[in-house]
Structure 1
């Protein structure tokens, strides 16, 4: 049901008093969310290296930055700082690593990001509605969804900051215009350096929110100027500084758009993801059947805006991939704050809470078990680095039949050799305009042009390269260019010849390439 305009104004809090969290009545639901958050961070606290796909790649880069600052640079890479976007982890983790290990600093960054996401969602609902009903539960359901579980560290941190930025925008939007511009510019800059997509989430949300609140052309023009001015300045800066990707990549995978709502809930197990997605749909049907949820005008505008952008958003946007699926957890974090909630009875509320808690704990338990299982695998591959010659070159490959996602967290584990063996691994992320690490001039022939080619090379590509077929440039002469080959994930029944196996682990094998 749609709330009336008067009801929307009173309950959405557009003209609410000062934002003081202490003024809100403590609710049992917040205590439950706090306990669930404590349970949700147990996986991060219980392992040294979270088994997230991109996390390990970022961790290897953090080691490079810390090593270089300590006077132990890897000769295969150059540190090249610039005013690029997407630098949150690069700016924060090396500073924290002055006091703790790099692994601990990276996990602290992840914990802060998760806390920002959950607290930001709750703060948004408290600001908009004055009470907590849904946002904490929705945020915890999304906390280990696929985009976050991939280990997109800058994106998760930026998403948390964006939620808090939306809270402050709504609170101060009726205040002095100049102060709003300054505050908006501050958050714009923070989000710019955190992650561009998080900046887009922030802009889309406040844009849709303001569209729902327009009361005249003068107000609309003033708000438009306040919102757009930093964006214009940032665009001009990017064009002049070289921070933007040189060759934008825009690719649509329309078939996945209908599937993502079922595949988004778990990165490791498709069946579990579908089951959780169906459970969430069942929870929403239950809430709708009991007429618990209602739409406000801002909810309609924000929900419609996200839906339109999701349908139009390319899967690959500039250098990144899977851009559209990130909108799903984003809307899960934002939209609940703008819904009206009317519980018909305590029993109905308890049933809804039980369903939400079950979804959260099932996913967290699955994540904890997988991360725990990977501890020995990461320890084993780190031990394998002692078998490598210093300053060697390493290629990472995988079987062509590697379709299960359970082995994906191993894909980038060999990049840790850049720290432990001073090796060169071309699949370490060195994306132009995004990371402050570059391949050295002597390694320019190994540059990767397509971001998807950072994934492990398939065995069929290795065989095709040996036969003179078309393959990514860094693979063409792999037999002569590389000293070692790691095959991660499922071990293929047959491998290329002229390889000598040096070590075999549960999720990888190390081979010396016979010259």
Structure 2
């Protein structure tokens, strides 16, 4: 999981600071950021089971919330479970979750249960509905802003399909909007804003995401699974298994419109549009009608769904297992570092796809194991409660995409006086060590002293 390790390193910093072992290169800076689920929950459990186990439990709990929340939503809407559990397990290792977007995954689980509560108490007293909705908004606002958007989009579309009068519409909109507006005012009052929100939109990529979304480790597998799902949906459509309810039409149309309009980058987050595909997989099945024409059709659908789930699970297990030795070597390499040193992460110039992406942020763990400074540790203004100290402010990263390892070509360009991100410009003097992950066959910069090589990374001391 690409981002998981970066989050894990930040959890170590939070726990170390609470225990009086603060890293002087970073400051703890708490505010009501809309991206705090893992930062709030993991350090609490880490007091009893350690950081690594607490992070694993958080991931497991998020997956349980997502799968059970999808099932609960279908049971609330249609009174029985037929479809949503299978689809949720298919989506569980989809690209946004497999990237290690931990707060988003947790937030999706909470959003699903929040939608269940909204529908269950829809005819209940208004004060109770407002209190429950406000509670869900507070949790989601603190957990992940995009998950709050999914919750709101689903409820707005659902209520839109059931509006009976103008007064009803205004009252429902007021109930939905007031807690969100209050949260926005609190964030503005806190004084922290995103340093570089970023904004981009690509229609061509939107056409490709449905093929790329199933697995971020293997593009052929992702495309293969997506095509199998498309064939299965065609077969079930031909067999007249699914029916569209009015809420399903509104929710599906709402998600589609937002997906087409959503930028790929917004509010400092990347790949925001693809997250809507996973969210729709979790929400929409609950609102479909399912009528199996025969046991044979039902059996075929179940076998194909289970096959897709197992293919993804085996792929992920294989990748994760193959990286265990690499992470062990990475931990060993930290013993070679001078305490309090500064570390830059680079990558080879050869495009290897996602082959080495799980190692991109592994060196950030040095902030704990070697009390080091690594600029690639997530310290995005308005998103994380960990900030770079004033002494490291010149190495702040302006664009969120530049948190990824710096291509070796940029290092060579910086040495020649070329235009590069600010935190790389003086890399020969600003950093003590260089980790290069991935391809090692390119033009390695000069004035480096080799220290250690593993299968997927190499460590160098930077000559001063």
TM-score class, shorter: over 0.9
The reply to whether residue 59 of structure 1 matches residue 13 of structure 2 is no
Aligned length: 464
The reply to whether residue 446 of structure 1 matches residue 395 of structure 2 is yes
The counterpart of 1:118, out of the listed 67, 71, 76, is 67
Equivalent-residue separation in structure 1 for 2:337 and 2:170 (angstroms) = 62
Equivalent-residue separation in structure 2 for 1:128 and 1:466 (angstroms) = 61
Partner SS for 2:346: strand
Shift of 1:249: 2.0
The counterpart of 1:70, out of the listed 9, 19, 22, is 19
Task: Identify the residue that residue 58 of structure 2 maps to in structure 1.
Answer: 109
Equivalent-residue separation in structure 1 for 2:218 and 2:381 (angstroms) = 33
Task: Identify the residue that residue 395 of structure 1 maps to in structure 2.
Answer: 344
Equivalent-residue separation in structure 1 for 2:113 and 2:433 (angstroms) = 46
Equivalent-residue separation in structure 2 for 1:246 and 1:395 (angstroms) = 21
Partner SS for 1:258: helix
Shift of 1:253: 2.1
For the 8 Å contact 1:268–1:406, the answer to whether it is kept is: yes
C-alpha distance 453-246 of structure 1, shift in aligned 2 (>3 A): closer
Task: Identify the residue that residue 448 of structure 2 maps to in structure 1.
Answer: 499
Partner SS for 1:294: strand
The reply to whether residue 269 of structure 1 matches residue 221 of structure 2 is no
Task: Identify the residue that residue 301 of structure 1 maps to in structure 2.
Answer: 250
Equivalent-residue separation in structure 2 for 1:243 and 1:296 (angstroms) = 43
For the 8 Å contact 2:91–2:214, the answer to whether it is kept is: yes
Shift of 1:139: 0.2
Written as runs of structure 1 = structure 2, the 5 A alignment for 1:13-412 is 52-412=1-361
Q: 1:87-146 CA distances to partner (integer Å, 9 max, x unpaired)?
A: 000000000000001100000000000000000000000000011111000000000000
For the 8 Å contact 2:84–2:282, the answer to whether it is kept is: yes
Shift of 1:254: 1.9
Greater CA deviation, 230-239 or 393-402? 230-239
Equivalent-residue separation in structure 2 for 1:274 and 1:252 (angstroms) = 22
Shift of 1:311: 0.1
Task: Identify the residue that residue 431 of structure 1 maps to in structure 2.
Answer: 380
Q: 1:260-285 CA distances to partner (integer Å, 9 max, x unpaired)?
A: 00000001110011001101111101
Computed over aligned residues only, the root mean square deviation of the Cα atoms, in angstroms, reads 0.8
Shift of 1:247: 4.1
The reply to whether residue 455 of structure 1 matches residue 404 of structure 2 is yes
Shift of 1:454: 0.2
For the 8 Å contact 2:195–2:398, the answer to whether it is kept is: no
Equivalent-residue separation in structure 2 for 1:380 and 1:140 (angstroms) = 33
Shift of 1:493: 3.2
Task: Identify the residue that residue 49 of structure 1 maps to in structure 2.
Answer: none
Shift of 1:243: 4.2
Partner SS for 2:47: coil
Equivalent-residue separation in structure 2 for 1:370 and 1:307 (angstroms) = 32
Shift of 1:417: 0.3
Equivalent-residue separation in structure 2 for 1:231 and 1:248 (angstroms) = 20
Shift of 1:178: 1.2
Long gaps (5+) in structure 2: none
- Scaled by the length of structure 2, what TM-score is found? 0.99
Equivalent-residue separation in structure 2 for 1:445 and 1:243 (angstroms) = 19
Partner SS for 1:405: coil
Shift of 1:246: 4.5
For the 8 Å contact 2:397–2:403, the answer to whether it is kept is: yes
Long gaps (5+) in structure 1: 1-51
Shift of 1:244: 3.8
Equivalent-residue separation in structure 1 for 2:196 and 2:46 (angstroms) = 34
For the 8 Å contact 1:85–1:243, the answer to whether it is kept is: no
For the 8 Å contact 1:400–1:458, the answer to whether it is kept is: yes
Equivalent-residue separation in structure 1 for 2:32 and 2:305 (angstroms) = 42
Equivalent-residue separation in structure 2 for 1:247 and 1:399 (angstroms) = 26
For the 8 Å contact 1:173–1:180, the answer to whether it is kept is: yes
- Scaled by the length of structure 1, what TM-score is found? 0.89
Equivalent-residue separation in structure 1 for 2:198 and 2:119 (angstroms) = 34
Partner SS for 1:490: coil
For the 8 Å contact 1:402–1:489, the answer to whether it is kept is: no
Greater CA deviation, 238-247 or 220-229? 238-247
For the 8 Å contact 2:196–2:400, the answer to whether it is kept is: no
Shift of 1:494: 2.4
Greater CA deviation, 484-493 or 59-68? 484-493
